[in-house]
Amino acid sequence: MLSAWLLPEHIADVLPADARRIEELRRRLLDRARGYGFELVMPPLLEHLESLLSGTGRELDLKTFKLVDQLSGRTLGLRADTTPQAARIDAHLLNREGVTRLCYCGPVLHTRPSGLNATREPLQFGAEIFGHGGLEADLEVAELALDCLHAARLSDLTIDLADARVLRGVLAGAPVDASRLQDVVAALSEKDASALEALAVGLPDETRHGLRALLRLYGGDEVLAAARSELPQRSLITAAIEQLEWTARHLRAAFPGLAIGFDLSDMSGYAYYSGLRFAVYGAGSADALARGGRYDEVGAVFGRNRPAVGFSLDLKALADLAPAVGAGRAIRAPWGDDAALRAAVRRLREAGETVIAALPGHEVETQAFECDRELVLLDGQWQLRAC
């Protein structure tokens, strides 16, 4: 018999020190987003399944927990990603004509972990811009993602840029059905040359050559020059390369120490993204700290096919990588029913101080706090002094 206190696999409690670090980071990131003009929304954790999985959300089907609503008998889902919910809010609840900037921070649930040590309950922070199809919005989202990682005190960042239109341009006019396309995307993602060669059998020579070239097109600025000479001369590919160059130039100007790479065979989220996309990595991190890009079809199923671009990250994972913070500063105070003492404690707390009262018969617990001052009675007055 399992113990009642055991949690499901890849689900864990967040204990005080970690919870404080996550919460402080959450506030910093929300403040950064607000500085860009993003408005906070709080979508529900539970929705009708068809709303969560409609349109571009269908790829989340295997990640989504499903249950039956006891009130309506309809199938509900526990969200695995907040982006479709933000699109629904933009399309139906706000329904604005101009640009809408939305941000959010809340838990999502996954049926399976993304890695061996990953949680199935990430705390997803994200930001979305709806209503502007120009590169200015793509750049703003990438800059906010980088600013959020800097707010977590992370340095030595690398951003990898890619574009979903490159593969679409390579495959344009080729007889590739949905199943074959899925296999091609997987082979490119895994950089599996032999699998890609087998999948390219029967395709036009120009398409086969372009697919082979994609496997080699990752690295620095030389990638874009090579892409111009090795990929098919098609307007979709040319536009993607020019926009990658434009974005990289502006990111270098805004973040002089930022390392920028290009990986034109990066197919993560290929079915989801419609244009430029990016992934940000930290020093020594194998997994991306943040991912984002353009997904203009996200709102189509809600009846409002607006341009959309955004990014998201797992705040729990980010907090684990952020530099540790010391114990919070606090004031130790005795417990008592003296009116002047209680008034002094209230004043200090209203001023933003942490005041820990020693409950009768107990030592003050200071594991998460460093009591560097104490409230003492001196000359008939309650005063602070250094511990």
| Residue 81 labelled as part of a binding site | yes
Does 295 count as an annotated binding residue?
no
**85 is known to lie in a ligand binding site:** no
Q: Does the annotation place 266 within a ligand binding site?
A: no
Please identify which residue in the block is written with the tokens 């003296």: 338
> Is 128 assigned to a binding site?
yes
Q: Has 320 been labeled as part of a binding site?
A: no
Q: Is 158 annotated as a binding residue?
A: no
Could you tell me which residues are annotated as the binding site?
81-83, 124, 128, 272-273
Summarize the annotated binding site for L-histidine as residue ranges.
Answer: 81-83, 124, 128, 272-273
